[in-house]
Structures are given as structure tokens and as C-alpha cells.
Amino acid sequence: MTETVEVVLPCLNEEEALPTVLRALPEGYTALVVDNGSTDDTAAVARELGARVVAEPRRGYGAAVHAGLANARADLVAVLDADGSVHPTELLTLVRLVREGADLAVGRRVNSHRSVQPWHAKAGNAVLSAMLRRRGVPVHDIASVRVGHREKLLALGVADRAFGYPVELLVRAARSGWRIEEVDVPYLPRAGGKSKVSGSVLGTVRAVRDLGTAVLRS
């Protein structure tokens, strides 16, 4: 029997995009929606579509992801943005890489067209990725989509509970000698709602600040 993959979806007000994402999950993949203090109907929509929902009232991307890992039941866990910017079927390749021996498989977002990612988000990501490579992490993106083994991910002891979570994860994984595999994934327009990070220059600046601090601190 094929091993179940649990997909952690950190959510803050994603009622518009979430149905598209949940309906597109591959067969055998179960959804764990982490409601990070939504003020819309994110949790209700998730439950109506068959997802398991846990609440994480402490705001922050890292807090939501950590709550998802802590509550996941499967060995193989994927983390995917709930906005539809990466199609859930891209997880199939990442899962295969982990099953073939990678400790961590991550997606490198490649814009499906020029307008998908604003210039400030693209520039910030390039700076952060360069910082990571100088620290021995073989990536060209900050691993917004990733797959790994739940217990191993928790054992890394990632402490950041804000935007810096994924870069601290990458640095800790590299220092632990993990085999990290990165593959291109198409980066699509959001399925609904507005980005909390790249939707504005200020949001991007705040995210880059948190992420850059996490890299330097790790």
C-alpha cells in the first residue's frame, strides 16, 4: 500500500484560495490545515472539504508550520502554501525524491509568467538565496514548498516562529549533513486573496528582514 503523505497548509485568511488547493491534492495525500488566527471562514471551508484542522493562535508562519508538524500523523510530511501559487501535484516529485533517499526535497519557484512575482519579492529572494549558498546550503529559493520525514524535521529544533522558519530549517539541515534536493516548480498566480508578504513592498521588506536575520543567526 502506498504510504500516506500529510500536507501541512499554514493558513491566514485563505478561504478564497483553499478550495482550489484542497481539491487538487493527489490521491493518498491528506490535508492538515493550520488556522493561524484567520478572521474569515478558512477553518469552516477546510472542514467542509474534508481537511483536518488545528488552530495555532500565535501568529507567524513558523508557528503555524511547527504546529502542523507537531500535529501531523504521517511519517512523510509536505509543507505547501495554501494560496495555490504552487500546484499540489508538484509534491509528487518532491515525495519521490525523499523516498529515493533525499532527507529534504524543496521546490525552486520558477515564474509561470513575468507578472506572477513582483520585482521586490524576486530581488529579496535572490539576496536571501545567495546568503544561504554562502553558508553551504545548495538552494536557489527559500523552500516555500518542501517534503521530509516528520520526526527528523522536528529533531532539527528549528526555533524561529516567524518568516525566518524556512531559512533556519535549511541552514540546520545543511549543517546536519542532510541531502537536500531542489527541483524547479512552476510559480502560479494566487488562486484567491492577497499575499501577506509579496503583496506590498513593505511586506517584502519585513519578510526579508526576518529571513535575513534568521540566516545570520543560524
Q: Which of 164, 169, 129, 139 is nearest to 152 (CA)?
A: 169
- Mean pLDDT for the chain? 89
Specify the pLDDT at position 203. Answer: 55
pLDDT at position 191: 80
- The pLDDT score that the predictor gives to residue 192 is 72
- The band of 140, judged by pLDDT with boundaries at 50, 70 and 90, is very high
Confidence of residue 56 (pLDDT cuts 50, 70, 90): very high
CATH among 3.40.50.1110, 2.130.10.10, 3.90.550.10, 3.40.47.10 for 5-217: 3.90.550.10
Higher pLDDT, 135 or 34: 34
pLDDT in tens, 196-215: 554 455 555 565 565 656 55
d(CA 112, CA 92): 19
Tens digits of residue pLDDT in 71-126: 999 999 999 999 999 999 999 999 999 999 999 999 999 987 766 676 667 777 78
